[in-house]
Amino acid sequence: MSTPYYTDPEKNFSLPSVGSRTQPPEQSGRISARRSLSDFSSWIPKYSWRTVFCLLVFAYYLGFFTIRTVLSFKSPHKYDVQTSQNSFSEKMQKLWGPYAPYYPVGEYVPPPLECKINQVNILQRHGARYPALLDVPVYRNAVEKLTSAKKFKGANMHFLKDYKYTLGEDDLLPLGASQSWEAGWHAYERYRGLVGGEDDLFIRASDLPRVVDSAGNWTRGFAAASQKSIRPVTDDVLSEEVNNTLNNDCPNADDGSAQMDTWLQQFAPPIVARLNAAARGANIDMKDVYGLMSMCPFESIVKAGSGLSALDAQSPFCDLFSEDEWRAFEYHEDVKKYYKTGPGNTLGPVQGVGYTNELLARLTDSPVRDHTTHNATRPFPLGRAMYVDFSHENAMVATYAAIGLFDAGVGGAPDPHRMPPEEEERVWVASHMVPFSARMVTERLECMSGAQEAVDAVREGTFIRIWVNDALQPLRFCGANEDGICALDAFVDSQGYARRDSDGDFERCYT
């Protein structure tokens, strides 16, 4: 088993202290040139001028590089493709679906002047991890088959001669720990005026180690951003041995494998033929193609936390496939999420009903009304300013579907027989929705009278807006305008499926 990363990334990755992130070292004052020369003159009898000259040159370069390092240091407030956040091609990573490292899809904007945020609900995926335990045999078998060939044709396959599968399973990676830490930092920076102390937050996590560790790293990042004035903790851990709102569970639901196999049959055969021609005797099949392509994101994110350059961090498996083939892989992940726990599965949205009803309870400061996965025996305080829940991507997709986000009817549902020719036509894109460390943020706003710019009306009362990875969600289903803001009452009314406990779909999961 690999070692989980649950300690403070400040220590794990030798990150600078909080003070050095925000301001350069203070200058201690100037030393006059005359005093410096008189000091050096006392050295002359003991040391030669050549020695003194060399020492001066050394001191000059040492000072130059020190100052340059301080001035060029980048704050974690911005994401950089070449930093610890992403150490490989941004264009490549966006084709990895749910295995993409976090990146902001849109640009966050503050609410209108007449509105103030008074509550924030964050639903966040754990950080980057090793391959899931159930997927490891698929990846390992594909690698072993390919490396069994006695001869390889093509320079991009030379690495296979001595390659051994070494990836761990399930546990959080250094990159994943850093992602959650930075998410906590950003949450404080964005909502610092909302949180005055630990009692203003309530934090939960589903109980798999990588999820609990992600929650812990988020709290450390939040505390660091607050200069340790606020030290949040994970308040509750929900067991996955029973139903809980932070994990998807529906035994009778399809898993989307039929649709995934259909799309695999559309794009994989030419790859199978090419790989078998370049690696005689490997006998690669379509399932192996998916395993080999998955090695690219997973091996890359493992290397990304080790401080390698962008070139070295990217797995050599990435170069075995063309850009068009990577777009086909990306679409495979879109199909998977849509038909596994998304709206393409009749029992997909029900797996997000429990969290949706908890969200409604928090927004309205009223007891939870849910008969699906909410556990009434667990702590569930109301009246907090910030709620943060750590979960999995499949549960988040189900929640999107239950609420009505990413309406594929606008751009067309993923068709497992055909990929749309234009990327812009697609609303359902997995890397936009659930990359590693993905987050859905629901803001509750209190607005006083003030004219809207878009329409001749007065906005007053309680409203909400939702962001997914910093992309503002349109919320047309509850009457939102271009600013994505809709009345809280209208949002509650729009959630009839959740409020009706899924119209019997929850019972269909088990009968």
Extract the tokens encoding 61. Answer: 């370069």
Helix residue ranges, H only, 314-385: 323-340, 353-364
**What are the Cα distances from residue 163, in Å, to 196, 315, 330, 428?**
53, 12, 25, 36
Helix residue ranges, H only, 245-322: 257-267, 269-278, 286-304, 310-313
Of 473, 437, 444, the residue nearest 384 (C-alpha): 444
At residue 146's C-alpha, the angle toward residues 143 and 151, to 5°, is 145
| C-alpha dihedral, 321 to 322 to 323 to 327, nearest 10° | -60
The C-alpha atoms of residue 26 and residue 19 are separated, in whole angstroms, by 11
3-state SS assignment for residue 105: coil
Q: Are strands 115-125 and 439-447 parallel, antiparallel or unpaired?
A: antiparallel
Instruction: Answer yes or no: are the C-beta atoms of 4 and 209 closer than 8 Å.
Output: yes
Of 6, 10, 442, the residue nearest 185 (C-alpha): 10
Instruction: Answer yes or no: are the C-beta atoms of 396 and 410 closer than 8 Å.
Output: no
Q: Does 126 participate in catalysis according to the annotation?
A: yes
- Token pair 């998916």 is found at 290
| C-alpha dihedral, 251 to 255 to 258 to 259, nearest 10° | 140
Q: Which of 126, 374, 392, 432 is catalytic?
A: 126
- Token pair 């690219």 is found at 296
- Token pair 């199978």 is found at 272
Instruction: Answer yes or no: are the C-beta atoms of 89 and 310 closer than 8 Å.
Output: yes
| Catalytic residue positions, numbered | 126
